[in-house]
Amino acid sequence: MDNPTNIPMVVSINISGGGIPKWPVDSVRVGIGGLEGDGHNHAKHYRLEQAVSLQDIEQLAELRHEGYALHCGSTGENISVGHLNVNALPLGTVLDFSGGVQLEITKVRHPCYVLDAIDPRLKEVIIGRCGMYAKVVREGILRAGERIEVVQPAAVMV
């Protein structure tokens, strides 16, 4: 999806019945537990603080350049984003999507063992480039192409 203005945006929304890869959909209902139709088939993956996973398309492009056959959704991310640098966002950052959905960044996403199916080395090289998890603050419909506004977390008073 072309974005000449470098505004943070949703490039791809990805779901699967369970496991990887996830496949793109044009739009999806986002509920408190995550994306409708996306498999959360065991307790490890059904936690409200990691209801949604996000990854930068720029990271995927970098990994492709390094020789890994990746596309949006192939590492299991729900939302592939552009121009966001999601790994640099502090915990507590709120993402306001132009269609009304709101997410809060909750934790760093770590590579899953299922990446071995793509390449046995991928689990190691993707560390720090795997994206972030978020909880759902406001439910709604999310569509590919939506813009994302970043709201920094409030400063902690000591």
Q: What is the pLDDT of residues 69-93, one digit of tens each?
A: 999 999 999 999 999 999 999 999 9
Q: What is the pLDDT of residues 1-59, one digit of tens each?
A: 454 579 999 999 999 988 788 999 999 999 999 999 998 654 555 689 999 999 999 99
Position 116 scores a pLDDT of 86
Q: Which residue has tokens 């408190």? A: 32
Q: Model pTM? A: 0.90
Alpha helix (H) residue ranges in the chain: 57-65, 122-125
Torsion of the alpha carbons at 63, 84, 89 and 101, rounded to the nearest 10: -120
Position 45 scores a pLDDT of 56
Torsion of the alpha carbons at 104, 136, 54 and 18, rounded to the nearest 10: 150
Please compute the mean of the pLDDT values over residues 95-109 and round it to a whole number. 97
Specify the fold of 9-151: M1 Pyruvate Kinase; Domain 3 (2.40.33)
Q: What are phi and psi of 148, to 5 degrees?
A: -125, 125
Position 117 scores a pLDDT of 86
